[in-house]
Chain A
Amino acid sequence: GAVVSQHPSWVICKSGTSVKIECRSLDFQATTMFWYRQFPKQSLMLMATSNEGSKATYEQGVEKDKFLINHASLTLSTLTVTSAHPEDSSFYICSARDQDRGGKTQYFGPGTRLLVL
């Protein structure tokens, strides 16, 4: 149980294009999902908290107009990197809480590696 998937697993795009990453909770419902970014040999940095049916909450320093988050259902959140640039190249990871189980454990997806040329 508590499986989270991400799609795509990796993407290469040209500078200036937009990229959408999907995060799905496969066997549970998640009213709250989280998006992280991870650079090589570094820890995970929380970008935003995605709330089903409402606006996402962004961490300080994260541009909400550049990283668009939509959480339209209890099993799907999407992150769109708009007008991507090489500095946006990173490993993007989502997580979800299993509301039915209670607690604060976050279960992570496999990550999406983004390379912007």
Chain B
Amino acid sequence: GESVGLHLPTLSVQEGDNSIINCAYSNSASDYFIWYKQESGKGPQFIIDIRSNMDKRQGQRVTVLLNKTVKHLSLQIAATQPGDSAVYFCAETPSGTASKLTFGTGTRLQVTL
């Protein structure tokens, strides 16, 4: 759902470790999900997407898992690097052609050396 809070949850991960960022969505009619990365002062950057007929999709160093039963989405980043430090948003869109995205609250990933 939409964010209303002033404080982003933060995940601190040591460089080289794996990161797992979680997202809960509320609309059971959503059939398409996207993870975006947003660095400070920049627009969101597409990372990976997944459709509701899948439960896992892998990209380069990233994996998205979808659990429709509990309406949960996660982003796994392997071998986290300092350049991965950013705010990560999940977004969902319901079936149909409107294609409006609803963004989650966001999670700040801090990579420590």
Interface set of A (CB-CB < 8 Å, partner B): 2, 4, 6, 32, 34, 41-46, 49, 93, 95, 97, 103-111, 113
Closest Cβ of chain A: how far from B64's Cβ, in Å?
13
Question: Which residue of the partner chain A has the closest CB to B45?
Answer: A108
Which of the residues A42, A49, A108 comes within 8 Å of B44, measured between beta carbons?
A108
Question: Which residue of the partner chain B has the closest CB to A38?
Answer: B38
CB of A93 within 8 A of CB of B2, answer: no
CB of B3 within 8 A of CB of A93, answer: no
Query: With an 8 A cutoff between CB atoms, is B105 at the interface?
Result: yes
Which of the residues B7, B93, B103 comes within 8 Å of A44, measured between beta carbons?
B103
Given contacts A93-B43, A108-B45, A113-B41, contact A43 B34 (CB under 8 A): no
Q: What are 14 A-B contacts defined by CB distance under 8 Å? A: A34-B101, A41-B7, A42-B4, A43-B105, A46-B102, A49-B98, A93-B43, A93-B44, A95-B101, A97-B99, A104-B99, A105-B46, A106-B34, A108-B36
In Å, the complex CA distance between A4 and B42 comes to: 12
Q: How many residues of B contact A (CB 8 A)?
A: 28
Which of the residues B3, B4, B93 comes within 8 Å of A104, measured between beta carbons?
B93
CB of B3 within 8 A of CB of A43, answer: yes
Query: With an 8 A cutoff between CB atoms, is B100 at the interface?
Result: yes
CB of A34 within 8 A of CB of B100, answer: yes
Chain A residues with CB under 8 A of B43 = 4, 6, 93, 95, 108-111
Given contacts A104-B99, A105-B46, A106-B99, contact A45 B2 (CB under 8 A): yes
